Each structure stands twice: as structure tokens, then as C-alpha cells.
Amino acid sequence: MTSQFKKFPSIETERLILRELTVEDAHNLYSYYSDREISKYLDWFGPQSEEQAIKMIRYWAKQYQEGTFMRFGIALKTDNKIIGTIPINPVRGTFEWKLPIVIGYELSRVYWNQGLMTEALKAVITYVFEELNNHRIIAEVFPENQASLKVLEKLGFQEEGLLKQHLYHEGTKTWHDVITLALLK
């Protein structure tokens, strides 16, 4: 991989630090994922223990070093506590190929409706377009997740269509339709 992937980037916004997750974040990661409201629109329930959270954090770090996946931890500047994440990955291959990027996100329910996710996503979108030099970002959202659709539309994402039974939820063992949206550089 390029030297760009030797050190995980840290991005600061007005209220947040977007940074690499460490094993010290496992407790907070596990804690907010334990709320089923967080994972009902994802493709998994999240780590089922702090030990599993540590394994996931280490696995994500390995994927970052391989240039195939990045998961920004969202931390408040006031205490550096992880309150959510934003994963990004190329559709295929590695970030070096300038392929479309798929973006996802989740945030502890305690912090919903405060504009924090919009603030964090703006910063990651800028990073994808300016630092990674990618041209297209894709998001896939359950049609019933109206809050997420509103956030993406506010950021300029355009709806491209409905993908039938596109996403499999590991926890519920069910297939889900998703609305695909995209943002171009």
C-alpha cells in the first residue's frame, strides 16, 4: 500500500475527533452497540461482548493496513469517548484504485438529533474526495430509516434506486431492501 496508509488519519471538526479505534475503545463500542435501536438498520448486531469488540477493532486495523477498509471512530472533543463510527471501503479492491467508496455510519442513541452525524459525515466526505481522491460515494439505507435518508439528502446524496433484498442482516437472518444513494465529487 501507499505511504498514505501507514498512519491512520485524525480529523477534527468543531465538536468531534474522527480517529482510529483502539482496544481502549472496546467498552464504549460494545456499550452503544448493545442498544438494538442502533443495529436494527445495519447488517449485524455489533460485537456481543467487549472481548469481541477488541477482536473487531484489531481486525479493522488489519484491514486498514491492507488498504481495503477504514472505520473512523467518532469521539467528542470534550472527553475523546467513542460514540459512533463511520466505515468506508472501496466497492472492490483497495483504496488505490479510485473505485467508488461505500460509506456507512452509526451513532449512540444518546447523541441523536444533535447534528453530530452530519458534522462527522461532512468531514469524512471531504477526506474521501480530497485526500483519497475518489470520485463517488455510495450509501445503502433501509427505506424505513427516514432519519438516515434525511441526513444523506442534507449532505447532497441523490437517490439512485431501490435494491430488492440486497442486504442480509446477520443477526436477524433476514434479507432487506435498501435505497441506494450516491454523491459525486
Per-residue pLDDT band for 171 (boundaries 50, 70, 90) equals: confident
pLDDT value of position 5:
62
pLDDT over threshold 70, residue 1: no
How many degrees, rounded to 5, is the angle at CA 102 between CA 97 and CA 107?
140
Q: Where are the beta strands (DSSP E) in the chain?
A: 11-12, 16-20, 70-76, 82-90, 101-103, 106-107, 136-141, 158-169, 174-184
pLDDT tens column, 55-95: 999 999 999 999 899 999 999 999 999 999 999 999 888 88
Of residues 38, 6, 20, 44, the one with CA closest to residue 172? 44
CA geometry: angle 169, 47, 95, nearest 5 deg: 75
Arithmetic mean of pLDDT over the chain:
93
CA-angle at 144, arms to 164 and 92, nearest 5°: 50
Q: How far apart are CA 101 and CA 160, in angstroms?
A: 15
